[in-house]
């Protein structure tokens, strides 16, 4: 079928966009010339249609209504999907929630937003295929923030996700549904996504484990992008061992994701988990504490948690990395201009990169994001308006400057990681706070949605692996400790986290432990 052709008025609008002055006769002439050039577009459209695999599988699903079975608002749809012939049984018997920015073929995908509501993917994301191939059961799609651009959990179009420790409080975003479902015991494991902290934030607020892998270690293929230089997917789990297991299943090159190096072999991240930390050097990053929004109790809890590694043979010292306070601003420019350019104007995937695209999703979102633009969250509107200014008025020059600063930020952490095996700091400056009332003013809304990411966001631009583990309770709510490692040394990050978990005798759950604040986990 022939693709849509522009008329003379459309050519005039395009010319104005590029600053050209064309008269009516010239516009009509160019309309004819463009019509000829679009013959190649017709050919590609036909070739693509013939290249498609089998249609999307028919899979049963149910939209999750708020109620007893979804009291946290964490489910978007529920399913029970397994592979007919998995190649191994590493996840046999394990129920897995998939963040709703990750495609499950034949199952609706909303990405937390009216701008994608009604879309049904035809392909499984790579991480979904790998979970199924390992014998796992896809139990459903977990609610995420509107286009994943919030660190709190009140911007989903379906309503807020509530924290299982206290349902009046936020679960964290943007993978809030995944964090809440794991913490509440509704699933064994979950997939999250992370562009500014969105795996680690709900892990910290909900008292579970969230591992943002080294950039490129896990293929992002089939997940809705924000900005391809900061896109990550990874596991959210109850224990560090489960995070290591999940990472072992989903890591490795798939050949379809330009974010990945050409060859990354899958590893068994469980194999060295019990190696302990004797002889390791742990750097406590001074700049990770004492933010304007920091709770003193959270800072004190994480400092005390880090010191516990001394008891099992590690050296623990404070280290200063001044670039840590600058790196957030570099991230902010990249996420804002890059998100507006790729996620919005680029209809998710953007252009100018290899890899596997989802053209059907791009076309659907291109129309729906315009039709439902007023329904977008205030955070997405801010990205759109600020990013448009950055790209259109400032010529994206600040994006270029920010990208040129990334190696300096990366080097600052690498220099510290030359002297230390891992770095630690609070995952977030405070514990989960009350969900906002409806109709809150816009400035408060934005601060509430994005005010907690100063420690998490830098590692999305530098690509270092970073994991949040529960450090204890403050005001009867979990607080997380973040462990950061060298590129592609996720194994050491997991080993340090596992050692801490063993020191604590396991992490508490909402149903088993409610104590007064502040509370350190028991040393065993």
Contact, 317 vs 193, CB < 8 A?
A: no
Annotated catalytic residue 85? no
State the catalytic residue, choosing from 12, 99, 152, 468.
Answer: 99
Q: How far apart are CA 501 and CA 523, in angstroms?
A: 10
Q: How far apart are CA 514 and CA 509, in angstroms?
A: 9
Contact, 460 vs 323, CB < 8 A?
A: no
Q: How far apart are CA 481 and CA 472, in angstroms?
A: 9
Nearest to 458 by CA among 415, 382, 496, 405: 405
478 Cβ contact list (under 8 Å, min separation 6): 165, 204, 205, 206, 207, 431, 432, 470, 472, 508
Annotated catalytic residue 174? yes
Q: How far apart are CA 465 and CA 198, in angstroms?
A: 14
98: tokens are 């998939």
State the catalytic residue, choosing from 12, 113, 115, 174.
Answer: 174
User: Taking the mean position of all CA atoms in its chain, how far away is CA 452?
Assistant: 15
Nearest to 133 by CA among 176, 171, 88: 88
Judged by phi (left if over 0) then psi (alpha if -120 to 50, else beta), residue 387 lies in: alpha
State the catalytic residue, choosing from 12, 150, 175, 198.
Answer: 198
Annotated catalytic residue 198? yes
Contact, 445 vs 378, CB < 8 A?
A: yes
- Could you give the residue numbers annotated as active site? 99, 174, 198
């Amino acid at each position: 079928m022939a693709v849509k052709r522009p008329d003379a008025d459309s050519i005039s609008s395009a010319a104005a966009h590029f600053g050209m002055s064309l008269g009516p006769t010239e516009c009509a002439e160019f309309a004819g010339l463009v019509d000829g050039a679009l013959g190649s577009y017709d050919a590609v459209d036909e070739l693509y249609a013939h290249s498609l695999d089998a249609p999307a599988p028919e899979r049963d699903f149910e939209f999750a209504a708020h109620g007893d079975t979804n009291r946290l608002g964490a489910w978007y749809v529920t399913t029970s999907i397994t592979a007919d012939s998995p190649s191994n049984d590493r996840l046999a018997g394990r129920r897995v929630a998939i963040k709703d920015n990750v495609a499950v073929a034949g199952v609706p995908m909303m990405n937390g937003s009216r701008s994608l509501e009604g879309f049904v993917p035809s392909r499984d994301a790579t991480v979904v295929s790998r979970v199924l191939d390992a014998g796992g059961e896809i139990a459903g799609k977990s609610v995420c923030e509107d286009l994943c651009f919030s660190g709190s959990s009140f911007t989903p179009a379906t309503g807020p996700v509530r924290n299982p420790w206290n349902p009046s409080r936020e679960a964290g975003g943007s993978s809030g549904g995944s964090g809440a479902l794991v913490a509440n015991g509704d699933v064994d494991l979950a997939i999250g996504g992370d562009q500014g902290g969105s795996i680690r934030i709900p892990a910290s607020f909900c008292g579970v484990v969230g591992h943002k892998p080294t950039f490129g270690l896990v293929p992002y293929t089939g997940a809705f992008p924000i900005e391809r230089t900061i896109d990550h997917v990874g596991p959210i789990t109850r224990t560090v061992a489960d995070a290591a297991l999940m990472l072992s299943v989903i890591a490795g090159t798939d050949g379809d994701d330009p974010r990945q190096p050409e060859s990354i072999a899958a590893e068994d991240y469980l194999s060295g988990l019990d190696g302990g930390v004797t002889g390791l050097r742990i750097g406590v990053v001074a700049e990770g504490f004492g933010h304007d929004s920091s709770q003193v109790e959270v800072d004190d809890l994480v400092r005390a948690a880090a010191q516990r590694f001394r008891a099992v043979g590690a050296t623990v010292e404070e280290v200063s990395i001044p670039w840590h306070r600058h790196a957030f601003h570099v991230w902010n420019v990249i996420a804002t201009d890059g998100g507006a350019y790729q996620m919005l104007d680029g209809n998710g995937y953007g252009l100018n990169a290899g890899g596997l695209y989802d053209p059907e999703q791009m076309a659907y979102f291109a129309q729906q994001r315009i039709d439902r633009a007023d329904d977008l969250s205030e955070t997405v509107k801010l990205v759109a308006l600020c990013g448009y200014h950055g790209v259109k008025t400032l010529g994206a020059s600040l994006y270029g400057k920010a990208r040129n600063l990334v190696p300096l930020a990366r080097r600052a952490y690498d220099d510290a990681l030359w002297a230390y095996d891992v770095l630690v700091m609070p995952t977030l400056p405070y514990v989960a706070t009350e969900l906002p009332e409806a109709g809150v003013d816009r400035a408060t809304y934005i601060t509430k949605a994005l005010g907690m990411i100063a420690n998490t966001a830098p590692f999305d631009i530098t690509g270092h692996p970073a994991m949040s583990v529960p450090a204890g309770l403050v005001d009867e709510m979990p607080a997380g400790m973040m462990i950061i490692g060298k590129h592609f040394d996720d194994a050491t990050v997991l080993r340090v986290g596992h050692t801490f978990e063993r020191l604590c005798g396991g992490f508490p759950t909402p149903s088993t432990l409610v104590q007064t604040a502040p509370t350190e986990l028991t040393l065993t």
